[in-house]
Structure formats: C-alpha cells, structure tokens
Amino acid sequence: MSRIATGKPRMAPWSCFRAEVGPLLVEFGLSGSKVTPEDPFWHLRESGLWEVHGVQSDSTPTVQAGAFDEVQPVAGLTHAAAELLQNPLTRLEAVARLCSTYLRGVDQRALLSRVGLAGYATADGLLDDGEEGPTQEVADEGRATGPTARRDATSSRLIRDAAVAKRVKELHGHACQVCGTRLQYKHRPYSEAAHIRGLGSPHDGPDELQNLLCLCPNHHVLFDGLEIYIDVEGIVRRTHGGDALGQLRRHVGHQVDETYLRYHRTLCGLNGLTTE
Ligand SMILES: [Zn+2]
C-alpha cells in the first residue's frame, strides 16, 4: 500500500521485497515468530489480492529463499487491488483495517513511518518542505508574521488557492464553524481555512470549497491533530472519549463533501488506535 501511495509500481522483485520486508518482520513481527520474508511474498497469494510471477506454483510446495534468489520472481498486489487502492479513502480504510485487525500490539505510528506513511498521523499529512504542525493561511489576511515562504514551494500542488480559502472565510464571516468564535486581529477579523482531507502526502486532498472548513486557530489545530472530528450527524466530537462539542455550523453557500468528512473520521479512528 505504501508503494501505491507513493506512486511506485505495484510489483516488486524478490530482492527488493526481501530487503524491505525482512527488517520489518524482525522489528515489528511477533516475538518468537519464525516468519521470514518468503512467507508473505508467497502466501499472500491466498488472499486473492496478491500475485507472484516467475515461479511455477505447483513446483514450489515449500517456499525457500534460495529458490527465489535463483529465479528472482516479482510479486505485488493484483491489478484490481492496486486500482482500488488508488482511491485515497479506500486506501486509508484499508490501512485502518489492517492496523485494527493485525497490528494492535505493535507501535503502529513507528511502523507507518517506516513504510513511508507517516503522513497518516495528521490530517494535513506530510508537506514537501518537511513542515509539521498546523499550516497557516496568511496571504489574504495580511498577517504580519508567519511561514510565508512555503507559498513559494516548487510543487504547485502545495500552493494553496488563496481565493478559495478567502471565499470560505467570507461565507462564514470569519466565525469558526465549531465554536462560533470570530477573532479580531489588528482591527480585522481573523480565521483559518482548514482542509478536511489534507493537501499533503498521502492524503493528496483537493484545494476546493467542499474540502474546506472555516475554523478558529484552536479548532484548526485540534482538527489537523485529529483530536476532533465531525460525525455522520454533523456533530463535532472529541476523538478520545467521543464527547460532543456541538453541531458543525453550516452555511447554505458552502456545501461540505461528506466523503472528505468520512476520510477525516477514518483518520481519527486510525490515530485513536495508534495512541491507545
Ligand atoms: Zn473554534
């Protein structure tokens, strides 16, 4: 799934699989387990989601690294499985399901980080310049300080659409959609546009009105940090404990896409697991 999320080919040669999965089994596998990389490489086929090429299946009743070293087969998710996992919501749900089903006893955050999926730890994901924590919308409010440099990021995907951010704030009159706070900053109202499915990797959310909320800085931090989410009824809840903070404030001119809220909820569910 990491290969899919990072745009690598779905199939990997045995040498690559062994070099990458071997250390993961040692570090995150069950203690005392005798599982070696050739086991998942070969037996994942039984899931119907995985295929191996370059080995005669009936001629290999028992799998041995030596035999694989000789013929160098390739393996990976089937074309159909890889296609499904191109959908970010499906991919996130699959990661969350794997974590909750098979990886309850391991340091999931460390494991996700090791396989290049550290971005699943926050709603905004990993940005190209390595910036962490809540991101700021600075341009249209004329804030005197702030990390303006990242507006010059070379990756155009990460350059935010200032117009769409401005639009969501104006529609809500700069009132936070969670608490209704309308901050005054240097004689002007101040609010932040929060992406629901983050722009950073591996979320790759779109920069569009349906994927934005108008929030105060406090609720932006809590939303990006996966401490609060919006449930199916539109009620804002705490990830830990589920306490209700109130109904999300809506505006008729601002339709929020439910699939983005579901994505964010699933991410909160995954991180609720990783921190338990
Ligand atoms: Zn607020």
50: β partners: 77
142 within some domain: yes
pLDDT lower than 70: segments of the chain = 57-62, 127-159, 273-276
Of 86, 115, 149, which marks where a domain is finished? 86
What is the CA(267)–ligand 1 centre distance, in A? Answer: 20
107 within some domain: no
Residues 127 and 251 both lie in one domain: yes
Residues 63 and 149 both lie in one domain: no
What is the CA(185)–ligand 1 centre distance, in A? Answer: 15
117 within some domain: no
Residues 249 and 169 both lie in one domain: yes
Residues 39 and 170 both lie in one domain: no
Residues 137 and 35 both lie in one domain: no
34 within some domain: yes
Position 70 scores a pLDDT of 87
Q: Tens of pLDDT along 184-230?
A: 999 999 999 999 999 988 999 999 999 999 999 999 999 999 999 99
Residues 264 and 132 both lie in one domain: yes
Residues 149 and 233 both lie in one domain: yes
What is the CA(191)–ligand 1 centre distance, in A? Answer: 9
Q: Is the C-alpha dihedral spanning 105, 107, 109, 115 positive or negative?
A: negative
The parent domain of residue 243 ranges over 123-274
Position 161 scores a pLDDT of 85
Position 133 scores a pLDDT of 41
Position 257 scores a pLDDT of 96
- Total residue length of the chain: 276
What is the CA(159)–ligand 1 centre distance, in A? Answer: 25
What is the CA(174)–ligand 1 centre distance, in A? Answer: 10
Number of domains comprising the chain: 2
Q: How far apart are CA 183 and CA 191, in angstroms?
A: 7
Three-class secondary structure of residue 48 per DSSP: coil
Q: Which residue stretches of the chain are H helix?
A: 2-5, 14-28, 38-43, 65-71, 79-84, 88-102, 108-114, 162-171, 217-224, 258-274
